[in-house]
Structure 1
């Protein structure tokens, strides 16, 4: 949650801003939640499958786009928003996502990269230059971000709790980790060591 807050805050979201979140993993879902809390007017999540569509909508997304289903992402985004978004939060960390973010953001917009891509990636700088976008990279969170998230949860925010998809005991951890190697509907598995 703190990583999502940190990136959303770095984007400088102003009231009414349109926000596209690329990726529906825990960071993308947290970024969606905090984009709305920071005043985003319309928030859309785009991901490779519908596995976390319901969670994205619970966390505050207005719409959900499945990438690669017949229509180019940029066209699907413009169709959904009615225009290119002001802000794109790249939360997938997959090669090509920074390029997608730059291509889809509006002229003069902001792209914040929260995704953690560990392989070589590329994009066309001229596209970013032509659009005069701001491109920022986010590194985890600050102590203040963490404290703010703790306060939000302590005040009873219910949406983030939807990310917890399973509770397991220590004995179940090996089998759960093995199951997580394949695509699933899991988001956050909580371990209860004394259960």
Structure 2
């Protein structure tokens, strides 16, 4: 819904900025139809209550913006006109609040927004705004791989090649991990995974993503693993990134992952799920659940984009103005060829 909102007024230590580009995230899609459920999950996780249901919520947290003016108590280290990105937080009376999921701090689908000066990072090397706005989703992949802490002995499988799965592939390749197996039902997403550095690309409708373990020196079954151990054979480590987030996926991995695999759960399943732990116990599987990123990982990802280490054009599949945003949301609910659509509120 398009609506006028009050002027953005910066508070202590804040700036007001013009949104140049803001990506549509899967969490935005979920919020449109299931906001109450998302709020409930956040509160059950122990997060602060940042959404007043009596007020309008303006989404958008993957952004690049231009500083327009400085509020009180700012040091003005970045002048007006500077293009910036930021981890999407502002500091309010109840602590940090996520921009785009707070009714106190509107998101970047608005034409103007308030940002915390201390968190701003200038966009480097003339990087275009749409590419700079990818810093936030790409940082999720940077963090997932950092937590996994792979080495050059690791063989990685990325299940799901949407924006986050592709971000994981980028981060794995930047760390020199390989081979990388990528699995997705979408031909377009598989093609992008290959361009970003996946060595083996699998259509799960045709073959199992787990069919290559033995040929890559990873024992695929408990029987193979036991034989390899008894014979003293050196083994490679299996590292699996779950980037789909639908019920049944964890049990699928428990049943099909090789013994001792490390499963990193990046996909945000927001429904009840069931697993059979004894199979994971028998295989000695390890599960790690990850969320977001650190400020250092965010800055590192921006630097990689600015230095041309990451090709942003593989991710960018559309640009829309505010009037076209609802249609873009509908497109992404059945993504097809789309990966990341950028909203440009100034259009």
What is the TM-score of this pair, normalised by structure 2? Answer: 0.52
More helix by share: 1
Matched, 1:114 2:266: yes
Name the residue aligned to 2:341: 189
1:25 aligns with one of 154, 158, 162: 162
Q: What are the ranges of 5 or more consecutive residues in structure 2 without an aligned counterpart?
A: 1-137, 221-236
Cα RMSD for the two superposed structures: 2.0
Provide the rounded CA distance (Å) in 2 between the counterparts of 1:45 and 1:72.
Answer: 11
* Residue 79 of structure 1: how far off its partner (Å): 6.9
Higher mean displacement: 171-180 or 118-127: 171-180
Higher mean displacement: 119-128 or 28-37: 119-128
Higher mean displacement: 86-95 or 152-161: 152-161
Name the residue aligned to 1:51: 188
Where 2:259 maps in the other structure, the secondary structure is: coil
Name the residue aligned to 2:203: 66
CA contact (8 A) 2:305 2:311 kept: no
Provide the rounded CA distance (Å) in 1 between the counterparts of 2:203 and 2:193.
Answer: 12
Over 6 Å off, 4+ runs: none
Matched, 1:78 2:230: no
Provide the rounded CA distance (Å) in 2 between the counterparts of 1:120 and 1:91.
Answer: 17
> Against the structure 1 CA distance between its residues 109 and 178, is the aligned structure 2 distance closer, same or farther, given a 3 Å change threshold?
closer
1:156 aligns with one of 301, 304, 308: 308
CA contact (8 A) 2:139 2:293 kept: yes
CA shift digits 1:102-123 (9 cap, x unpaired): 3343322211100100111122
CA contact (8 A) 1:108 1:131 kept: yes
> Against the structure 1 CA distance between its residues 156 and 11, is the aligned structure 2 distance closer, same or farther, given a 3 Å change threshold?
same
Matched, 1:2 2:2: no
Name the residue aligned to 1:14: 151
Where 2:213 maps in the other structure, the secondary structure is: helix
CA contact (8 A) 1:13 1:39 kept: no
Where 1:52 maps in the other structure, the secondary structure is: helix
Alignment of 1:27-42 (within 5 A): 27-42=164-179
Where 2:263 maps in the other structure, the secondary structure is: strand
> What count of residue pairs does the alignment treat as equivalent?
193
What is the TM-score of this pair, normalised by structure 1? Answer: 0.89
Q: Which has the higher contact order (CA 8 A, sep 6+)?
A: 1
Provide the rounded CA distance (Å) in 2 between the counterparts of 1:12 and 1:175.
Answer: 39
* Residue 58 of structure 1: how far off its partner (Å): 1.4
Q: What are the ranges of 5 or more consecutive residues in structure 1 without an aligned counterpart?
A: none
